[in-house]
Amino acid sequence: MENLFDAGRRDALLARIQRLRADSPRGWGKLDCAQMLAHCALAMEAATGDAKLSRPLPARMIGWMFKGWVLGPKPFSKNSPTHPQLAAMAPREFERERTRLVAAIHKFCAAGPQSAERFEHAFVGKLTGAEWGVMQHKHLDHHLRQFGV
């Protein structure tokens, strides 16, 4: 599985992020490119402890059942459900959000798997550090594909 803690994978995703433009057209979904960057940054910040996402009761009850699917080899599907705190995005400034996301990726990777495993995922719950790396890679890849990079 592709893992964000792998330097080569991280660098490839960072290069794709640099190819984005403020007017990059989305292939699906409701977020524009700047909002998508903010969405991804907030998700990454939850994995570094810089943001706290609530864990709704339904996620506590059944989230664990989806862990295999979320971490499995298949890419996330178009219009997959998202956490309510990650869904509603006000207008954002593109370069500011790109810088924020890149910084969050670097912080996540520098802290390493042992740091990530201290935090609970808002939907599936407890993850190992390696699982956080897989999850973050899949999430970023999903949204970069959404915008054609």
Q: Where is average pLDDT lowest: 20-29, 66-75, 77-86?
A: 77-86
Mean pLDDT over all residues of the chain?
Answer: 91
Q: Which residues pair with 120 in a beta bridge?
A: 126
Pick the closest to residue 38 from 80, 93, 110, 78 (CA basis).
Answer: 93
Arithmetic mean of pLDDT, 17-46: 96
Number of folded domains that form the chain: 1
Q: How far is CA 50 from CA 44, 53, 63, 79, 136, in A?
A: 9, 10, 22, 26, 15
Instruction: Note whether residue 103 is domain-resident.
Output: yes
Instruction: Note whether residue 95 is domain-resident.
Output: yes
Arithmetic mean of pLDDT, 19-45: 96
Instruction: Note whether residue 1 is domain-resident.
Output: no
Q: State pTM to two decimals.
A: 0.91
Q: How confident is the model at residue 79 (pLDDT cuts 50, 70, 90)?
A: confident
Residue 105 lies in domain: 7-20+27-146
Instruction: Note whether residue 2 is domain-resident.
Output: no
Q: How confident is the model at residue 11 (pLDDT cuts 50, 70, 90)?
A: very high
| CA-based torsion, 48, 97, 63, 1: positive or negative | negative
